[in-house]
Amino acid sequence: MLARAVTFALVGLEPRRVEVEAHIQGSKTPSLTIVGLADRACQEAKQRVRSGILSAELEFPGSRITVNLAPAELKKEGSGFDLPIALALLAASHQLPRARLAEHASCGELALDGRLRRVGGVLAVGEGARRAELERIICPYEACAEAALAGVEPVGVRHLADAVAYLRGELEPPEFVVGNGKPRRRPLDLADVRGQERGRRALELAAAGRHNLLLGGPPGTGKTMLARRLPGILPPLEEEQALEVTRIHSVAGLVDPDHPLIGYAPFRAPHHSASTAAIVGGGPRLRPGEASLAHRGVLLLDELAEFQRPALEALRQPLEDGELVVARAAGSVRFPARFQLIGTMNLCPCGARGDPGAQCSCSAQRLARYRDKLSRALLDRFDLVVTVPRARALELQAGPGERSDPVRSRVVAARLRLAETLPKRTRAADELLTRAVERLPLSGRGRAKVAGVSRTIAALAASDAVLPEHVAEALAYRAPTELATP
């Protein structure tokens, strides 16, 4: 007897339809074989499916069973195939109606006691189901809200027995709650940062213009503290963007079951020991990397110069194109990665440089090697470069700084202005820029960056034109000569 269930395998973020066929042959030797390019976790489904079915007090057919995952050429990965395999098997052994099963998509991992466990990528599976014009998806109950985002009707089940009861028409799908898209934890507030006016200003500019920001300075001056407060002054995401971000986080298995929609700019801060694959994505299972998880949000690389150089260089492509292409012999996979890059670094390997109270002990070669870690090409991607000096004791005694809320309002207003019309430079502003290019070591790309930042400054000042003072301030955020020239 043959039965089919439908699920979707993910290639990168793309769902591909997979038919799970179960065939039972009358035979004296009971066996279960899974064919169709299933990986290790998928092969192990045999044990989970057997225990799950028995725990649900259903009958496990004592004959020769073949499960085929079609198309056979597509690699199937992970444990999400447990539920469709179990359902197809039960349908093939006449324990549930086959026709009704074929109208549903399904995914989920089985526990040995028959309960269902969440898997990653339910949103993408749901989207696949919608495109395949399947109206309902049977999924673990915790993933209901996530599946609903895809525009399909989720049937949340907690146990394999529930899924069977539902397909037999004995049980209605339970209610579920959709979250509000707000972050669970309040973002860190800028009020915690005392002094550091210049750093705060740079952060505001970075937020308003979506500029990449490099914060330099001796250790303990608050570079990381500032950088971590960027998400708190970013505007919320638009609906389409929120879905994009949620899809990526869903595939990585990182969504909050109660509030699956990520309606705010994500923030990722990988450790500097991260491998290239961890940052740009890939690996045997083709998972999105940190750069993609930071899509539409912030990627903070703390201690930039400590990262492996290949990992840093790999970021140049997404910084340019807004997406990552992981190429494989079998084809390539695209992950969106339009993030804002924030880097922090000390001015020298020992960290004392720039600190009036300490002596730097780095040799010229050591210093040059440290700075060579950042290629000119990567350094060029930072629109704003600011050195954060050590705050004086006086500043630390001062009251709290401005809170994030008013800053965010200014950022939102500036973004609206920039979206409407780009402010143009006045003649005097143009002259200052030309003079600066002649006088300072400023490359063509450097000039373009200054022009871009000056537009953001004008927008924040609610000015319709870019005035000379806006260009002048933008010039103050260019890369310092000690980083620009070896």
Partner 1 sequence: MIVLRRRELPLLLRAIHDPPARLYLRGNGDVAMLARTAVAIVGARACSPYGAQVARMLGRDLAAAGVVIVSGLARGIDSEAHRGALETDGHTVAVLGCGIDRDYPAAHASLAQSIAERSLIVSEYEPGVEPAPWRFPARNRIIAGLCAATIVVEARERSGALITADFALEEGREVFAVPGEITSALSAGANALLRLGATPLTAAADVLESLGIESLPDDRAATDNPLLDLLPATADELARKTGLAVGEVVATLAELDVAGLVAEGDGIYRRLA
Binding interface with partner 1 (CB under 8 A): 195-198, 200-201, 216-217, 347, 353-354, 359-360, 362-364, 367-368, 386-389, 391-392, 395, 432, 435-436, 439-440, 457, 468-470, 472-477, 480-482, 486
CA distance 200 to 206: 10
Here the tokens at position 339 are: 């993030």
Spatial contact of 61 and 27, defined as CB atoms under 8 Å apart: no
Q: Between vectors from CA 307 to CA 304 and to CA 312, what angle results, nearest 5°? A: 85
CA distance 276 to 89: 41
Minimum distance of partner 1 from residue 354's CB (angstroms): 4
| Partners of residue 139 on adjacent β-strands | 156
Minimum distance of partner 1 from residue 474's CB (angstroms): 8
Closer to partner 1 by CB, 105 or 386: give it: 386
Q: Is the peptide bond before 71 cis (omega within 30 degrees of 0)?
A: yes
Residue in this structure with the two tokens 């079609």, named with its chain if needed: 70
Closer to partner 1 by CB, 24 or 230: give it: 230
Minimum distance of partner 1 from residue 179's CB (angstroms): 38
Residue 432, class by beta-carbon neighbours within 10 Å (0-12 exposed, 13-18 middle, 19+ buried)? buried
Closer to partner 1 by CB, 117 or 194: give it: 194
The rounded Cα 456 to chain-centroid distance in angstroms is 26
Here the tokens at position 450 are: 């200054």
Closer to partner 1 by CB, 29 or 481: give it: 481
Minimum distance of partner 1 from residue 365's CB (angstroms): 8
Spatial contact of 123 and 149, defined as CB atoms under 8 Å apart: yes
Minimum distance of partner 1 from residue 453's CB (angstroms): 11
Q: How does DSSP classify residue 238?
A: P
Spatial contact of 262 and 250, defined as CB atoms under 8 Å apart: no
Closer to partner 1 by CB, 14 or 482: give it: 482
Minimum distance of partner 1 from residue 213's CB (angstroms): 15
Closer to partner 1 by CB, 16 or 392: give it: 392
Closer to partner 1 by CB, 180 or 481: give it: 481
Minimum distance of partner 1 from residue 364's CB (angstroms): 3
Minimum distance of partner 1 from residue 435's CB (angstroms): 6
Closer to partner 1 by CB, 32 or 457: give it: 457
Helix, strand, or coil (residue 53): helix
Write out the DSSP string of 413-480: HHHHHHHH-PPEEPHHHHHHHHHHHHHTT--HHHHHHHHHHHHHHHHHTT-SEE-HHHHHHHHTTSPP
Q: How does DSSP classify residue 306?
A: G
Minimum distance of partner 1 from residue 345's CB (angstroms): 12
Over its C-alpha atoms, the chain yields an Rg (Å, rounded) of 27
Closer to partner 1 by CB, 24 or 193: give it: 193
